[in-house]
Copies of this chain bind each other. A is one copy, B any other.
Amino acid sequence: MPPSEESSAWATLTRAPALDIPTLSKALEIFGSAQGITAASDASRERAGLSAAAREFLSSATAASNSAERAWLENPRHHVVPFTDPRYPVLLRATEPYPMALYVVGAVDALNEPQLAIVGSRNPTPQGLDTAHELSEYLAGRGLAITSGLASGIDSAAHRGALAAQGITLAVLGSGIDVIYPRSNRPLRLEIQQQGALISGFPLGTPPRRENFPQRNGIIAGLSLGTLVVEAARSSGSLITARQAVSCGREVFAIPGSIYSPLSRGCHELIRQGAKLTETAHDILSELNFSSFFEGQPLASARRDITASLELGMDKDHKILLDALGFDPADLDVLVVRTGFKPEAVSSMMLILELEGHVQAAPGGRYSRVVRSRR
């Protein structure tokens, strides 16, 4: 299918320098369409208020669609969704600034699904990865679409969790939508465009420049009802996404962690600034009043106490022992003191807990708790 001339014209406009939404809106009123703008004379574009830089670009040979752009636009799964399009996401349009058009690969309908952004460190702890995956899987399974930035680490875990739940996930890029970055996420990209959408506010071919990421983060925050930060160092880009969520009036959620973990610092900072301290998926669902989206299912059933679910059906003494172990390694003597159980009992129960994958033995007869059995 040949690309529509209107889509081609929008692709051209996204490449034009110094063209803002107010100017564009005025020009659209005058010329009737994007194609009308690109086909107009320089003099009439000047009268319509376009800047010299924009006019110079539109009059040059580079304004015309190149062959790569035409080829991209020909694919029926590829879309350019301008801000004037009813499919343009309503929540994003409520933010300032919003991109004049979104490049989309996959399900355009996903843009207006109720979304939660899940973002965080590119170098998270294994626990952080699990948390992102679990929460995303659970929430996507309840009908909330999961939006993130396709970066390695927390972002990827969030996308994967949603995919695992057969839910919808949206990945917003800091490059042109045709630029494969990060390369390691190529298989994940392919899955996401089957089960959701890849999105970019940048023209085709835009490299993943550092300065693109704040805008990318603004789209993530703007698309979403709220933003959850799973793990973030103090200088993490995720904090920018969170601040953008605040500035467009959306909820921010942050997961606390050990005061000894540098990857909890950013989340703790957010909580101090008013982000909702989040322990369970329920904290998110209740804050977003999301129960209305899946009527008939009581909100109480959305409650997810992660530890409780893990320890469901566990023998009471085993539970006491596991609680006594805590979250750092301890030896059997310490556990005997903490529980008041006989040494033989502790020893045999620890063996069972080890076999069941709840604890693991470490050198020197010490045991550590295995928080998640599944990765």
Contact with A271, one of B131, B271, B323 (Cβ below 8 angstroms): B271
| Chain A 97-128: CB-based contact to B (< 8 A → 1; otherwise 0) | 00000000000000000000000000111111
Q: Are A126 and B328 in contact (CB under 8 A)?
A: yes
Given contacts A277-B271, A323-B123, A363-B361, contact A371 B328 (CB under 8 A): yes
Q: Does A256 contact B (CB under 8 A)?
A: yes
A307-358, CB < 8 A from B: 307, 323-324, 326-330, 334, 338
Q: Does A362 contact B (CB under 8 A)?
A: yes
Q: Does A265 contact B (CB under 8 A)?
A: yes
Number of interface residues of A (CB under 8 A): 43
Copies of this chain held together in the complex? 2
Chain B nearest CB: distance from A213 CB in Å? Answer: 21
Q: Are A327 and B261 in contact (CB under 8 A)?
A: yes
Q: Does A249 contact B (CB under 8 A)?
A: no
- A263 contacts which chain B residues (CB < 8 A)? 326
Q: Does A374 contact B (CB under 8 A)?
A: no
A311: nearest chain-B partner, CB-CB? B262
Chain B nearest CB: distance from A138 CB in Å? Answer: 13
Q: Are B126 and A330 in contact (CB under 8 A)?
A: yes
| Interface set of A (CB-CB < 8 Å, partner B) | 123-128, 131, 255-265, 268, 271-272, 276-280, 306-307, 323-324, 326-330, 334, 338, 360-363, 368, 371
